């Protein structure tokens, strides 16, 4: 009797493997043949669930958007403003291998936005979501008139941190990322009590 395979679990495994291929070899490395080889099966193992590379790209990006939406929902449930800000900014840091791999994969995809319409559609949705998360994290600490400018600063800073960690993971260790985030927040015009809470956390 054939062994039952949970379709959702298998699809998740294929998406995970696709991210690994992207993160190690870039967009050209993501082929159905390479994916099947990495998973130790035939191409039909992949095409049974994803008929093309475009379908794989869409699945990777859809999962990322769902994870972002879920994070924003969880952020809304944090009542303490200091904890919410710390949680939000820590979420942006690629401070473990899984998040670092995901960021490498996203960067590999961005360079090919012209080739795959799903990539541009993803970017059009994810950027407002990122800004929404930052706004939710910071809005209790600054006057409304200053909120947009500070969101811009934090978004640029988080993007720069992500890129630096992807380019030089040996330099930007998780510990260093957190340390520099603490220093950065110390330069912002936030209440002193918040900064103390953040350093102690």
Q: What is the CB-side half-sphere exposure of residue 135 using CA atoms within 13 A?
A: 12
Given the candidates 1.20.1260.10, 1.10.10.10, 3.40.50.1000, 1.10.357.10, the CATH classification of the domain at 60-200 is 1.10.357.10
* Alpha carbon distance 8, 12 (integer Å): 6
Q: What is the pLDDT of residue 193?
A: 44
pLDDT per residue as tens digits for the range 62-78: 999 999 999 999 999 99
* Alpha carbon distance 63, 127 (integer Å): 15
pLDDT per residue as tens digits for the range 115-173: 888 899 999 999 999 999 999 999 888 888 888 999 999 999 999 999 999 999 999 99
More confident residue, 3 or 37: 37
Supply 172's token pair: 């930007």
Q: Residue 93's Cα: distance from chain center in Å?
A: 9
Q: What is the pLDDT of residue 63?
A: 93
pLDDT surpassing 50 at residue 194: no
Q: What percent of the chain has pLDDT over 70?
A: 92
Q: What is the pTM of this model?
A: 0.84
* Alpha carbon distance 96, 62 (integer Å): 21
């Amino acid at each position: 009797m054939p062994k039952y395979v949970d379709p959702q679990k298998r699809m998740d495994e294929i998406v995970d493997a696709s991210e690994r291929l992207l993160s190690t070899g870039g967009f050209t490395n993501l082929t159905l043949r390479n994916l099947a080889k990495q998973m130790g099966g035939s191409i039909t193992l992949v095409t049974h669930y994803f008929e093309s590379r475009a379908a794989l790209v869409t699945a990777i990006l859809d999962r990322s958007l769902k994870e972002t939406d879920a994070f924003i929902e969880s952020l809304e449930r944090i009542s303490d403003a200091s904890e919410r800000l710390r949680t939000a900014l820590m979420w942006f840091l690629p401070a473990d291998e899984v998040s670092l791999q995901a960021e490498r994969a996203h960067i590999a995809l961005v360079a090919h936005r012209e080739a795959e319409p799903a990539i541009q559609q993803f970017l059009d949705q994810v950027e407002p979501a990122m800004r929404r998360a930052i706004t939710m994290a910071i809005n209790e600490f600054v006057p409304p008139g200053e909120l947009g400018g500070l969101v811009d600063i934090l978004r640029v800073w988080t993007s720069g941190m992500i890129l630096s960690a992807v380019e030089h993971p040996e330099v930007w260790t998780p510990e260093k990322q957190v340390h520099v985030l603490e220093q950065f927040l110390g330069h912002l015009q936030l209440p002193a009590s918040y900064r103390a809470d953040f350093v102690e956390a």
